[in-house]
Chains A and B, each alone.
Chain A
Amino acid sequence: MARTMTGGFVLRKCVAVLLMLAAGPASAQVGQNFPAHLRPEGDPAVVERGKALYGALCRGCHGADLRGGDLGGPNLLRSELVLNDQAGELIGPVIHDGRTPAGGGTAMPPQPQLEETDRRAIAEYIHSIARTTQAQGGPPRGPAMALDLLVGDAKAGEKYFNKECASCHSAAGDLARIGGRIPDVGQLQDAWVGGRRTGPPGGTVPAGAPAADAARRVVRVTVKFADGSQQSGALARIDDFTVAFTGDDGAYHSYARDAATPRITAVQVDDPLAAHRALWTRLTDKDMHDVTAYLAGLK
């Protein structure tokens, strides 16, 4: 149930998210600020003991990652009982006595052979994992999974590219070696669909690409006046009331759109990304994956 964090710009939000990522996981607004996250780290020896016992007795049902297992044990990381346990006082008795789930399902067998210290050690181990759940209820970070994002048909992608993209872009020009410059397939897809800079983040861009890339991203505006004159430049901002731009003369200009003098008769905005925004409304996922496969092959 994420809500917009600011009342402001999506852009600003993206920047904020980037800053958050750069600054580390916790933020004062949406962070790991709940009791499960704030509890102190347990004694490593106790946690280790608990981990071993969990592996032997609990893992089969509750899963190696505590998120539930094949034998029907529930996810412990979102369990009301686990989250309310402080030091084994709630978890311990369940381990000792077993449990029949209220809503049906496999009953949990009792473990009366375990000493209280062992039950507490298991609880401590569970808390040590619950402590690492991510913001907005996300599970603890697991090992990186190798997922194949390259599912498209490069040949079909090339065909689509030539038809839909080639009026502005070329595989030999601005997108030369793009698949090598952005080796992460997901990042490559985000960049080309979004119309983002296609140079490597923080690195140098191949000769020829950057200037063209930067120039292509400028939103141009032409303002026509009642006396027949007109001015053009790089748009600074436009709303229903004001248009402002850095003119081709290098100066900043700002006009009230409803002023009597100078009276504006027409405002024409030429946004190079308009073509991308229009593309989003008709791009199918298959075409998207195909073009990504084609571009990924440009190495």
Chain B
Amino acid sequence: MKRAMFKAPMRKPTPARTLLASAALAAALLATAAGAPPPLVPPATLYKPLGTDWSIYAGDYTNQRFSHLTQVNRDTVKQLSLAWVAHVNSATRDAITGGEGKGDFPVSGASIKGAVLETSGMLFATSPDHVWALDARDGRELWHFFWKTRGGTHITSRGSAIWNDSLLFLTADNFMVSLDARTGRENWHVEIADFNQQYFTTSAPIVIGDQVLVGTGNDSDAPGFLQSYDPRTGKRNWIFYTVPMNKGDAGLDTWPNVDAARHGGGHTWIPGAYDPDTDLYIFGTGNPSPAYTGVARPGDNLFTCSLLAVTVSTGKLAWYYQTSPHDTHDWDSAQPPIIFDAMINGKPRKLVATAARNGYFFTLDRVTGEHLVTSQYGATVNWTRGLRKGGQPDRDPMKDAQIAGALVSPTEDGVVNYQAPAFNPDLGYFYVNESDSFNIVYLTDPDPRGSMGLGGKRRAVLGNASTALQAIDARTGKTAWRHEWPQAPSLGGGLLNTATGVLFTGDGNGNFVALDAANGAPLWHTRIGNLSNAPETYQLDGRQYVLAGVGDTLYAFVLN
């Protein structure tokens, strides 16, 4: 495959972006003139491909997790060694404290499952109710912010965002909090979702120009939405519901009635990708609700389990493609989509691809949403009767939860879940970890009204038939190579790859590993435990760092 065939999306200087860049530059000059340091992350810098800094959830807007840093390559990776280890401290006594809780909710232990941002020699890590700033050179804590929560589901925090000097993060009890990134002092907080309706928030905010996009989550039959806020003030710009809320709304004909649609889920708990050329934010939505008992919601249930493209300036839907019509297994299609350009049938195409939790891989035209490729990447997927004309998996109703039990692959956790995929534009490979898991799903509530939330079923998890990492040719959906992790009971974490052809991930057996991106051959490993987030890389003082989180501990590696 020729290198020129796959490129990161071109970043043409549109008038809006030029204006942004000049405004940022002007602001920086003014700040310097006044003696203040330049902003940590002017929004214009986020348009750059992933390089020295890691200043947004996936490093850059493409979600490729493809670093242009070159010190670590297929030869030198063998010399990677420990630079520092940092245990984040969840003791709250000396933390800067905010929040509207009474302080009676147990303090969550720390687990770093999301993005750690790096800019100007500072790292920003999060865990539910906690934010830490660390020195990127040695992991020393600079400040710790603790949020007194009102309660809610404290599964994870997927990271933060930086807009100029403001650090923005989302709390489990549905606040967006703005901190002074240099000091950890709170600027303001705003409620972004109704706690009474049992929303809980895990996602990382995404800054696009002078907007910050936030998604949220819910298990209790409430509607999903994506919102845009002003990162300066916390004032809301727009809200986009992922399910029809009123008569006449698009997609309502895929629900029995408005009440079912308004309680239909479709949550937005992982950040999407952004295409500056079209101003489209492309993201995946979660499962329809009630999750396992689809009897009360006949139809495809738009726009749940879909890839959606929303125009950022307006908050309006540009196109959609449903990757799991009428899901009945809690297989959110929220996995981060990856945008890239490639030649297909001799024509240059602007594309987006996603490996969905349901075991299917999709490539679409990202400007129009036109479907191009569907392939099954989960080796043991058994819940479909094939594909529909439009490429969507055709669900087999006999694999819904049954009173006597249905043997289903994958389990509720999916072939992949939140673990971030990666893409190599030189090779055209989409990398994803694959869990070929099985469970028996029993219907325990055959009520014709359906159950609520994730209720109404019992699941007996049997285990994995296999666990593997694979490279999918994103133009065809075919597996280019597949590397099985021997006896690994589950997935090893997210992925990172570099322009030098090195692919980093966890092996599910406690090793942090580097492989050859071209063929999956292991190049380096260290046993630090199972990764809890996706590896990252940044460059500081001329040294390339490789960073990985294992629970409450961050490990940084360099070439020594």
Chain A interface residues toward B at CB < 8 A: 1-11, 13-14, 28-31, 33-36, 38, 63, 67-68, 74-75, 77-78, 80, 83-84, 101-105, 133-139, 142, 145, 147-152, 186, 189-190, 193-194, 219, 235, 237-241, 269, 271, 273, 276-278, 280-281, 283, 285, 288-289, 292
Contact = CB atoms under 8 A, between A and B. Distances in A.
B157 interface: no
Interface residues of B, number: 105
Name the prevailing secondary structure of the B interface residues: loop
Which of A75, A145, A271 is the most central at the interface, judged by chain B CB atoms within 10 Å of its CB? A75
B407 A152 contact: no
B463 A186 contact: no
A133 B403 contact: no
Given A67-B452, A134-B455, A190-B460, A280 B407 contact: yes
B77 interface: no
Given A1-B267, A6-B532, 11 more contacts: A63-B449, A75-B452, A78-B222, A84-B197, A147-B443, A190-B460, A193-B460, A240-B511, A241-B511, A276-B462, A277-B464
A237 B218 CA distance: 38
Which of A134, A142, A189, A239 is the most central at the interface, judged by chain B CB atoms within 10 Å of its CB? A239
Contacts of A190: 440, 460, 462
B269 interface: yes
B417 A241 contact: no
Given A30-B155, A137-B220, A193 B407 contact: yes
Given A138-B451, A139-B452, A151-B404, A33 B152 contact: yes
A138 B446 CA distance: 14
B297 interface: no
Nearest to B202: A3
B439 to A, nearest CB: 9
Interface string B186-219: 0000000011111000100000000000000111
A237 B530 CA distance: 14
Interface string B434-467: 0101101011111101011111101011111110
B106 A28 contact: yes
Contacts of A133: 220, 452-453
Nearest to A83: B196
B170 to A, nearest CB: 15
Given A1-B217, A186-B442, A8 B490 contact: yes
Nearest to A237: B509
A103 B404 contact: no
B532 to A, nearest CB: 4
Given A78-B221, A80-B197, A240 B507 contact: yes
30 contacts: A1-B286, A4-B418, A7-B533, A8-B532, A34-B152, A34-B195, A35-B150, A78-B452, A83-B197, A84-B197, A102-B247, A103-B246, A103-B257, A133-B220, A134-B455, A136-B453, A137-B218, A137-B290, A137-B454, A138-B456, A139-B453, A139-B455, A148-B404, A149-B403, A193-B407, A239-B507, A269-B486, A285-B402, A285-B407, A288-B440
A239 B449 CA distance: 48
Contacts of B404: 148-152, 285, 289, 292
Given A1-B287, A33-B152, A289-B404, A78 B220 contact: yes
B218 to A, nearest CB: 7
Contacts of B399: 285
Interface stretch (B37-45, B258-266, B312-320, B367-375): B258-266
B500 to A, nearest CB: 21
B275 interface: no
A32 B129 CA distance: 18
A285 B406 contact: yes
A241 B449 CA distance: 53
Contacts of A137: 198, 218-221, 289-290, 452-455
Contacts of B151: 33-35, 38
Contacts of B341: none
Interface in B507-545: 507-511, 513, 522, 525, 530-533
Given A4-B417, A280-B462, A241 B258 contact: no
A277 B105 CA distance: 42
B108 interface: yes
B487 interface: yes
A148 B334 CA distance: 36
A209 to B, nearest CB: 21
B405 A14 contact: no
Given A14-B461, A28-B154, A186-B442, A103 B258 contact: yes
B539 to A, nearest CB: 26
B159 interface: no
B330 interface: yes
A133 B438 CA distance: 28
B486 A238 contact: yes
A78 B452 CA distance: 8
A145 B106 CA distance: 36
Contacts of A75: 221, 263, 449, 452
A151 B413 CA distance: 28
Nearest to A37: B151
B452 A5 contact: no
B465 A239 contact: no
Nearest to B413: A4
B80 to A, nearest CB: 15
Given A241-B525, A285-B402, A280 B380 contact: yes
A146 to B, nearest CB: 11
A239 B407 contact: no
B10 interface: no
Nearest to A142: B445
A2 B454 contact: yes
A269 to B, nearest CB: 7
B53 interface: no
B153 interface: yes
B229 to A, nearest CB: 22
Contacts of A193: 407, 440, 460, 462
Given A10-B437, A147-B444, A138 B463 contact: no
A10 B452 contact: no
B153 A30 contact: yes
B486 A189 contact: no
A11 B106 CA distance: 26
B326 interface: no
Nearest to B195: A35
B412 interface: yes
Nearest to A28: B106
A241 B522 contact: yes
B156 to A, nearest CB: 7
